[in-house]
Structure 1
Amino acid sequence: MSNNFTYTFFNCFDNPQLCILTFFCPCYTNGKTAEAVGHNCVLCGLAYIVGGCIAGGIVRRKVRETKDIEGNICLDLLAHAFCPLCALVQDNREVCGAPYEQAMARS
């Protein structure tokens, strides 16, 4: 494994729509990220409600495996324990690209 995350950990505010969505409904973001890496969206969303740190860490591990990113499960769990919103946004942007980043100007 030699890759790093495309989006840095504290760049969650670069995507305001995703940031706001994640703030109000983190289970949705975790579910959609899980779905993008092959897990069940609904189950992972519900698991985040019950055990956010653990459920988020498991999805983050799958994101790292899918994208061949360095790290370990301990760092994944710590990321979701200490700054869960930034971790959720980073995970989602890594696998889903930037679906909420659209140009506002009309051509």
Structure 2
Amino acid sequence: MEAQHLRGQAEGQWSTGFCDCFSDCKNCCITCWCPCITFGQVAEIVDQGTTTCGTAGALYALISAVTACGCIYSCFYRGKMRAQYNLEGSDCGDCLKHFFCELCALTQQYRELKYRGYDMTLGWAANVQKQQNQGVAMGAPVYQGGMSR
């Protein structure tokens, strides 16, 4: 029997198809006009807050402006995300998807994180706070540092 994950989805499968860009019209439009925003939001969640949305988005925009290949940077985040959530794919496939259809790749990653319970507009810290307030596990374990009595 195949292990099931999230709402009946088979382990390893993406929650939406690669070309389902228009299933979230708002994100599709934002990504079309300013992919650095979507990339920044994805990177912040995938990096669990160690990289901010603004930093990742600005670096993506700079790489895109200088080399016209922001996809080189973003394809590595697809690989990180696949590893975190045990999603199907390969490093070569990640690069090809981002090189030939960057917008579809970014919107699929955005939808996947949204499907997994993240509010992409909040960023990592606010999602962790929301998770703690609701008592819901959202994927990565929450670290509560410091000493307590």
Q: What is the Cα-based RMSD across aligned positions, in Å?
A: 1.8
Tell me if 1:12 matches 2:30. Answer: no
- What is the TM-score normalised by the length of structure 1? 0.82
2:32 corresponds to? 23
1:37 corresponds to? 46
Counterpart selection for 1:55 from 73, 76, 79: 73
Which is higher, the Rg of structure 1 or of structure 2? Answer: 2
Report if the CA contact (8 A) 1:33-1:96 is conserved.
no
Q: Mean alpha-carbon deviation: is it higher for 43-52 or for 82-91?
A: 43-52
Q: Percent identity?
A: 37
1:87 corresponds to? 105
- What is the TM-score normalised by the length of structure 2? 0.61
Higher helix share: 1
Tell me if 1:75 matches 2:87. Answer: no
The count of corresponding residues between Structure 1 and Structure 2 is: 99
| 1:55 partner SS | helix
1:93 deviates by 0.8
Larger RCO: 1 or 2 (CA < 8 Å, sep 6+): 1
Report if the CA contact (8 A) 1:60-1:76 is conserved.
yes
What is the identity, as a one-letter code, of the residue corresponding to 1:14? S
Identify unmatched segments of 5+ residues in structure 1.
101-107
1:56 deviates by 1.2
Report if the CA contact (8 A) 1:63-1:95 is conserved.
no
Runs of 4+ in 1 over 6 A off after TM superposition: none
